[in-house]
Structure 1
Amino acid sequence: MKIKPFVILVLLPTVFVACSSIRVVKTEPADNFALSHYRTFAFSDIESTGDIPQSGFYRSQVEALKNAIERQLLARGLSRVPASPDLLMNIGIAVDEKTQTRQTNFRTDPPYYIGQRRYTWRSQEIPVGTYRQGTIDIHLIDPKKNEMVWRGMVEGIVPKKPARLQKQIDESMEKLFATL
């Protein structure tokens, strides 16, 4: 049976999207929130503590995140202003070190030996690698009302290569702001 090229062109993007490690965790709009009610935005000051946030790499990635957010909001008709914005953007970033494990299997793994003449058949978690999982939490705040009007959260596995990280930041912001 021959597969038509049209079917491949339709299914290939679906496979790539399904394999993405980025997922939108949640979005919470306030009652009667519409982005069209706002014309300008600005970023609130980012405060950071600890060892990692002081590095130049961290600051460059925060700027890359701000640029990705700015592109999404510019595409939706808003403009960035230095003072008196209609919307204030607050960004929260968390990166956790995770351990990937696998469960031992009784059929393929040898039994775990305890004591003389005592074989036990226990399954256990075996660490096989580590990775970093990042979460970005964005709050849109109406400074005139002093209340949050929208919240969006996205998470994914943080790649080690900076070029892939930049691509993932852009992709995650595109997915998140598509829900607006």
Structure 2
Amino acid sequence: MKSILQFIFICFLISIASCSSVRVVKTEPADNFALTNYRTFAFADIESTGDIPQSGFYRSQVDALKTAIEQQMNRRGLRRVDAQPDLMLNIGIAVDEKTQTRQTDIRSDPPNYIGQRRYTWRTREVEVGKYRQGTIDIHLVDPKRNEMVWRGIVEGIIPKKPEKLQKQIDESMEKLFARL
């Protein structure tokens, strides 16, 4: 009985983990990269592309992203400084509006009648909805060597509610920096 409950619990955890709205696309460490060789970091300019509104809300979310990254770096023993950091963080943000479609099916879209015994039916893409997909690309750069030492990319569908967006930012940075 106990082993059955443990199996059900493990299946439950796996199903919850697979329902995450963000995924780590790629992480690339440089040869011989060790985070323990660095003690301080600073943020470089943030670059944005795509369908990003330049509003106060956007800037507040960039600040939330920086805060989440700073928390992850602090957990790994690095602290933020303004002058002469050991690591520079370059952040790239891309937001694209996507269209969700489905293909018509003969069961759901019956053929059109065009006269005696001339039924026609063609598949077509039907728009179901629109959503925004965001990608965050983070580069850790060693300023002394002017060389990128680590790169991580995370992407996900951006929720419409601000409180869910903040939770997603924290979750995505947790997942990304777990691979650092």
1:115 positional shift: 8.4
**d(CA) in 2 for partners of 1:114, 1:139:** 59
Q: How does 1:36-51 map to 2 (within 5 A)?
A: 36-46=36-46
More off after superposition, 8-17 vs 35-44: 8-17
**Gap runs ≥5 in structure 2:** none
Q: What is the match of residue 78 of structure 2? A: 78
Question: Helix, strand or coil: the match of 1:44?
Answer: strand
CA contact (8 A) 1:101 1:126 kept: yes
One-letter amino acid of the counterpart of residue 149, structure 1 = V
Indicate yes or no: 2:141 matched with 1:154: no
1:160 positional shift: 0.4
1:4 positional shift: 5.8
1:114 positional shift: 6.7
More off after superposition, 5-14 vs 39-48: 5-14
CA contact (8 A) 2:48 2:94 kept: no
**d(CA) in 2 for partners of 1:145, 1:11:** 47
One-letter amino acid of the counterpart of residue 10, structure 2 = V
Q: Return the TM-score normalized by structure 2.
A: 0.89
Question: Helix, strand or coil: the match of 2:46?
Answer: coil
CA contact (8 A) 2:89 2:140 kept: yes
One-letter amino acid of the counterpart of residue 90, structure 1 = N
Q: Return the TM-score normalized by structure 1.
A: 0.89
Q: 1:48 to 1:115 in 2, by over 3 A?
A: farther
Indicate yes or no: 2:123 matched with 1:120: no
Q: What is the match of residue 100 of structure 1? A: 100
**d(CA) in 2 for partners of 1:27, 1:52:** 24
Q: Stretches of 4+ moved more than 4 A in 1? A: 3-8, 47-53, 112-118
Indicate yes or no: 2:18 matched with 1:15: no
**d(CA) in 1 for partners of 2:23, 2:140:** 19
1:96 positional shift: 0.5
1:167 positional shift: 0.2
One-letter amino acid of the counterpart of residue 152, structure 1 = G
One-letter amino acid of the counterpart of residue 44, structure 1 = A
Question: CA deviation digits over 1:58-85, x for unaligned, max 9?
Answer: 0000000000001111001111111100
More off after superposition, 116-125 vs 15-24: 116-125
CA contact (8 A) 1:112 1:122 kept: no
1:109 positional shift: 1.8
Q: How does 1:17-36 map to 2 (within 5 A)?
A: 17-36=17-36
Q: 1:48 to 1:177 in 2, by over 3 A?
A: closer
CA RMSD of aligned residues (A): 2.5
Question: Helix, strand or coil: the match of 2:45?
Answer: coil
How many residues were matched structurally?
180
